[in-house]
Amino acid sequence: MIRSLASSLNAALSPGAKVIASLALVGGAVTLLWPIERAPGLELWMFSPAHREMYRSTLETWGDSPEREPVEVSVFGIPALERRLMGGIFSGVDMADLVEVERAIVGPAFRGPVEAVGFVDLTDRLESEGLLDEINRPSFGPWSTRGRIFGLPHDVHPVLLGYRADLIESAGIDLSTVETWDEFGAALRPMIRDTDGDGEIDHWPLAFWPTHEDNIEVLLLQGGGGLFDADGRLIMDSDRNAVLIAEMVSWCVGPDRWCVDVDEFTNASNSQKIEGYSLAALMPDWMCNIWKEQIPQLAGKVKLMPLPAFEPGGRRTSVRGGSMLAITRSAEDVDEAWAFAKELYLSDELAQTLYTSTDIVTPIKRHWDDPIFDEPDPYFMGQAKGRMFIELAPEIPARTSSPYFRAARLELRNAANELYEWGRDNGVYTSEELLSKAKEILEARTDLIRRDVERNVFIPREPDTGESGGGGEGT
Amino acid sequence: MSITEPPRAVAEAESSALLTPPTPEVLNRDRALNVAGPAWLFLAPFLLVFAIFVLYPLGKSLVLAMQQTYGPGATEWVGFDNFANLLRDDLFRLAVRNTVVYTLGSMFIQLPLALGLAMLLNRPSLRGRGIYRLVFFSPQLMGLVFAAMLAALVFEKRAGLLNQALHWLVGFDLDFPWLQTHIMWTLILTSLWMYVGYNMVFFLAALQNIDKSLEEAASVDGAGPLGRFWNVTVPSIRPVASVVVLLSLIGSLQLFELPWIMLQSTPGPGNRGLTVVMYLYQKGFETGDLGYASAIGWLLAVMLIGLALVQLWIVRREDRP
Amino acid sequence: MTPPAPPTKNQIAGATSHPLLSVCVHAALVPLAIITLIPFVWLLLASLKTPEDFSGSMFLPRGEQGGYDLTRLTFDNYTRLFTDPSIAIGRAIVNSVFLASATAVLATFLAAAAGYALARFRFRGRNAMTILVLGAIIVPPPLLLAPGYQLLFDLGLLDTFTGLILPVAAPAFGIFLFRQSVQQSVPESLIEAARMDGATELGIFTAIVLPLVRPMIGAFMLITFLLMWNNFIGPQIVLQSPEKMPLAVVVAQMVGLYEQDYGLLMAGTLISVLPVAALFLMLQKEFITGLTSGAVKG
């Protein structure tokens, strides 16, 4: 009986099919027998292999301690981490005990009732242990909702302006007196020329365009605008935002424009930066490290300065991105997880490694005295850039954590782009003339988001009495 | 290899040890055997898996579509609100419009091209047919993720392969931002590369099975190549063509991963790359509103069923005479 | 004008015996074939280039003085790929092989059985079943993502290979194909004869039906293998342990937050493409014939 079964199968399967069938058998055996080691200690999920490297020594020290099990770390790409996180929060599946999450994907975790947020509420612990004062206050913003804080901030991420000092200074231009964006544009205008005679302009002052989602937000926050207020309400169509968007678009449109569409992280744009096609760019602290890795050719040619303000006396920095460490609802031993979180994030050593390996400035204020931040950085022509970032750290604009943040930011970008195309097609180039159209476009796009916000049955329409962790204007 | 096996296999089968000589009890049992019984037995594995992993979640998704949820324990019943909101949702309408444009553009370009290629490859004495077939099918082997990443690099402005080639050939604008303003076209072109070979294989199979005597008869009647095409080729491949069209329709309307990866997990500037399934994913897995996402899924299912029925009806009608 | 002479056999057959026409056909096909293959060539070269060369040149790396410098090609990316323990590509390959082949085998036999039932048995409910299967082809998978995930959780099948394989083991499209194929290739009379000779139903299925639909078996196994091999959304959602991740996921995850280590990514992609390319070469004939018997004359 078996033999005839075998012969039938033999007749039914072509050589290729037999290959697949045998792979299934062999593969099955191997997979089932290959063991997976499961460690009983804490589990930590993160998205950055660089971070895992940085935490290595802390992880080892924790693991060496006799009462504690070593922490198991898994690194996932951001989309994978997001899926896992959302799966865990919305389906109640087991997650790791601790997660390091990035700003852009944490929003949905705050969509439901405050009691149901997928992370452990850390507000009371932070308060009682005095950490709310030890850590840069505005940095808690993106991890708070309705007055409760759900994560330890990893960073501050102030934003400065990085510029080609080599090209600019040799052209005889001094940027140290520049205080506003208008002055900046005017100062660098002489450099907008065709220097190599090929009929095309070779230098533009600023790498910025109405399609650069992240940087639009950076500038908006700098100028005092924002997407959401401190209570999490949508303020995307505010008058202030309209003014700022009109201003930004006016830099990019028309014959007097001084911005150029050079974006970030791609090979093409890096080449353009090397050529000096764009002379300056918005640089959060982590971007310094990106440039060192991706554009080593610019070492010793770049300098940093505070962002020119929108008005005289205005804010000279902004903020971009961020990650936090949170304890998830799946954690069995919250106290152990909390102890580990503190050890990981609050140590001197981490503050130093963070800066030396990724140029990121710590949010723990007591580490700001460390001389490491005063060291001259050769890439930036010997500037003590750490200190420069730290000096502006307390001034970064506050942000909140709306679940609609990502959608709103996308629509903001769409609004800017729409305004740009309208201005370009209708010959409207100045910020005053663009203003009313900016307001109109913003209102239309905000409506799209607003309808979504109003559908939400979990977040009360009327603002809570509690303040959010960030305070002040938010995003 | 011919379609039906020669009698050799039958002879082998007959001599198989599984065919025992009938005893009276066996004969009686077989005659009394409800023919339906074994049929259900063969269907059982499929039905089991289907019921558990398709029907049950399908039902659950209908329930979900009537709710707004945030994780276990935070569920609110909202009735048909999700559907009502959806029909008023401008972004949803844009998604539908984009998806339909893509589907039509894609099908009307891809399918004729696939048919054309198949006809070219159908020449009997064509050398290297196997190689051509393999070459055109090969993009399928790469998988959607990598194709999308590749496409993002090809359509990149300045350094992208397409702009460089066009610039070199006809002085095309090196900075043309395909991925900002002409997203649908980049998607259509990319999926053209990916799927033409797949559809071509179906068409080729169909063409190779056209009854030669029909073609002969048509030629004898004086029909030129075009006449032969319309009167012999097209009707003969209609069954396959309708399968191809249906599959293409279903696949195109569910476009998601390709633009998602190409536009780096966003719907692109002005939401020009937003498709229905992308919207579903955003609402369901980025915002966590599974109820709204399920409602989108159901509207999509309704669209698909509607179109499939329309297509079926068209095919039936043409089969009548 | 006199009526045209009756066509010769050659003319009916497409008349490629005419050399000029043959050249024209090739002239049309060759550029298209080249365009189709260019991305593969690019992929191969990209996997052999260092990061500077990747941004510096389109295809072949350039030397110091201009012109091409082939000595700059390197296997570095592959070495890194196979020796980096955090990528664990060996295990990923094993996982992929298992997942794809097991699913292929399971789905094929399930589909063959169901297709056979719908094709050669007359029973009440057959029409309903057939419509069910056809309808199932249309159900959009995204609709089932969320509740399906919840179901796997309730069944305790999350983070298991079973949980990944079972939901796709009932392929409606496959049943449709096998139904056509059985109708095409397995004559009723044969089965009747076998039944009258007293064969068991299972016996008929394995000894008669399966060998006769051999091409379709090969074709469908290949299709399913290919689908599962490249599938990365499913595994990312269902599987949690990194050790269980298949190749497609591992390679896709190599795209970090900002670092685009294209060389590594391209090497991984190529590694991912080779096995399926090999299988396809082996199963080419079946694939075509299988599709023929299944889709044609439907």
What part of A 193-212 touches B (C-beta under 8 Å)?
211
For domain A159-319+404-453, the CATH class is alpha beta
B35, B208, B242 ranked by CB distance to C122: nearest:
B35
Span of B221-230, B307-316, C257-266 with lowest mean pLDDT: C257-266
Q: Domain extents for chain A? A: 36-153+321-375, 159-319+404-453
Mean pLDDT, residues C245-271: 73
Position C136, amino acid:
A
Instruction: Identify all chain A residues contacting C94, using CB atoms and an 8 Å cutoff.
Output: 27, 30-31, 34
Structure-model confidence comparison of residues A270 and A459, the more confident one = A270
pLDDT band for B2, please (50, 70, 90 cuts): very low
Span of A240-254, B5-19, B97-111, C132-146 with lowest mean pLDDT: B5-19
Strand order in the sheet with A259-260: A259-260, A204-207, A278-284, A159-164, A302-306
Instruction: Identify all chain A residues contacting B9, using CB atoms and an 8 Å cutoff.
Output: 11
Mean pLDDT, residues A44-69: 83
Instruction: Identify all chain C residues contacting B9, using CB atoms and an 8 Å cutoff.
Output: 211-212
Do residues A383 and A376 make contact, with C-beta atoms less than 8 angstroms apart? yes
**Residue C92 pLDDT > 50, yes or no?**
yes
Instruction: Identify all chain C residues contacting B56, using CB atoms and an 8 Å cutoff.
Output: 147, 151
Taking the C-alpha atoms of residue C249 and residue C233, their distance in angstroms, rounded to an integer, is: 8
Q: In angstroms, what separates the C-alpha of B91 from chain C's closest C-alpha? A: 18
Q: Report CB contact under 8 Å: B71, A108.
A: no
A36-153+321-375 and A159-319+404-453: identical CATH topology: yes
Kindly give, in sequence order, each residue whose CB lies less than 8 Å from that of residue A361, ignoring residues fewer than 6 positions away: A155, A156, A157, A158, A285, A354, A355, A373, A386, A389, A390, A393
A203-234 as b/e: b if 16+ CB within 10 A: bbbbbbbbbbbebbbbbbbbbbbbbbbbbbbb
**Residue C244 pLDDT > 50, yes or no?**
yes
Q: Report CB contact under 8 Å: C105, A27.
A: no
Instruction: Identify all chain B residues contacting A109, using CB atoms and an 8 Å cutoff.
Output: 288
pLDDT band for B7, please (50, 70, 90 cuts): very low
Task: Give CA separation, B40 vs A12, A36, A328, C126, C223, in Å.
Answer: 23, 40, 47, 10, 26
Instruction: Identify all chain C residues contacting A28, using CB atoms and an 8 Å cutoff.
Output: 98, 102
The string of pLDDT tens digits covering residues A412-423 is 999 999 999 999
Q: What angle do CA C80, C86, C92 make, to 5 degrees?
A: 85
Which residue from A minimizes the CA distance to C254? Answer: A77
Total domains in chain C come to 1
| Percentage of residues of chain A with pLDDT beyond 90 | 48
Sign of CA dihedral A67, A69, A70, A72: negative
The reply to whether A50 touches chain B by the CB within 8 Å rule is no
Which residue from C minimizes the CA distance to A89? Answer: C150
Mean pLDDT, residues A53-76: 82
Structure-model confidence comparison of residues A473 and A43, the more confident one = A43
**What is the model's pLDDT at position C191?**
84
Segment of A381-385, B76-80, C120-124, C282-286 carrying the highest mean pLDDT: A381-385
pLDDT band for C55, please (50, 70, 90 cuts): low
Do residues A236 and A446 make contact, with C-beta atoms less than 8 angstroms apart? yes
> How much is the pTM?
0.77
C104, C255, C257 ranked by CB distance to A20: nearest:
C104
**Residue A379 pLDDT > 80, yes or no?**
yes
The reply to whether A24 touches chain C by the CB within 8 Å rule is yes
The reply to whether A113 touches chain C by the CB within 8 Å rule is no
A268, A417, A452 ranked by CB distance to B269: nearest:
A417
**What is the model's pLDDT at position A465?**
40
| Percentage of residues of chain B with pLDDT beyond 90 | 16
The string of pLDDT tens digits covering residues B255-294 is 988 888 788 777 887 788 899 999 998 888 777 788 888 9
**Residue B71 pLDDT > 80, yes or no?**
no
Q: Report CB contact under 8 Å: A21, C105.
A: yes
Closest CA to C167 of C183, C179, C155: C155
**Average pLDDT along chain A:** 87
The string of pLDDT tens digits covering residues C105-151 is 999 999 999 988 888 888 888 888 888 888 888 888 888 887 887 78
Which residue from A minimizes the CA distance to B288? Answer: A108
Q: In angstroms, what separates the C-alpha of A396 from chain B's closest C-alpha? A: 27
ipTM for the predicted complex comes to: 0.78
Those chains having 3 or more beta-carbon pairs within 8 angstroms of chain C are A, B
**Residue A233 pLDDT > 80, yes or no?**
yes
One of 3.40.605.10, 3.30.540.10, 3.40.1360.10, 3.40.190.10 is the CATH number of A36-153+321-375, namely 3.40.190.10
Taking the C-alpha atoms of residue A440 and residue A434, their distance in angstroms, rounded to an integer, is: 10
**Residue A145 pLDDT > 80, yes or no?**
yes
Q: Domain extents for chain B? A: 2-65, 83-319
Do residues C293 and C215 make contact, with C-beta atoms less than 8 angstroms apart? yes
**Residue B109 pLDDT > 90, yes or no?**
yes
Strands A323-327 and B67-69 come out as unpaired
Q: Report CB contact under 8 Å: B134, C205.
A: no
Taking the C-alpha atoms of residue A315 and residue A380, their distance in angstroms, rounded to an integer, is: 23
pLDDT band for B31, please (50, 70, 90 cuts): very low
Q: Which two tokens stand for residue A315?
A: 């804010």
**What is the model's pLDDT at position A91?**
67
Which of C118, C143, C282 to mutate to test binding with chain B, by most B CBs within 10 Å of its CB?
C143
Structure-model confidence comparison of residues B231 and A46, the more confident one = A46
The string of pLDDT tens digits covering residues A309-349 is 999 999 999 999 899 999 998 888 899 999 999 988 998 88
Q: In angstroms, what separates the C-alpha of B154 from chain C's closest C-alpha? A: 9
Segment of A13-17, A86-90, C165-169 carrying the highest mean pLDDT: C165-169
Q: Report CB contact under 8 Å: A12, C256.
A: no
pLDDT band for B127, please (50, 70, 90 cuts): confident
Structure-model confidence comparison of residues A312 and A454, the more confident one = A312
C140 falls within a domain: yes
Q: Report CB contact under 8 Å: A116, B282.
A: no
Supply the CATH number for residue C161's domain.
Answer: 1.10.3720.10
Position B239, amino acid:
P
One of 3.30.1700.10, 1.10.3720.10, 1.10.10.10, 3.40.50.980 is the CATH number of B83-319, namely 1.10.3720.10
Cα torsion through B238, B244, B247, B249, rounded to 10: -80
Which residue from B minimizes the CA distance to C208? Answer: B13
Which residue from C minimizes the CA distance to A12? Answer: C211
Do residues C9 and B116 make contact, with C-beta atoms less than 8 angstroms apart? no
Mean pLDDT, residues B166-186: 81
Instruction: Identify all chain C residues contacting A83, using CB atoms and an 8 Å cutoff.
Output: 236-237
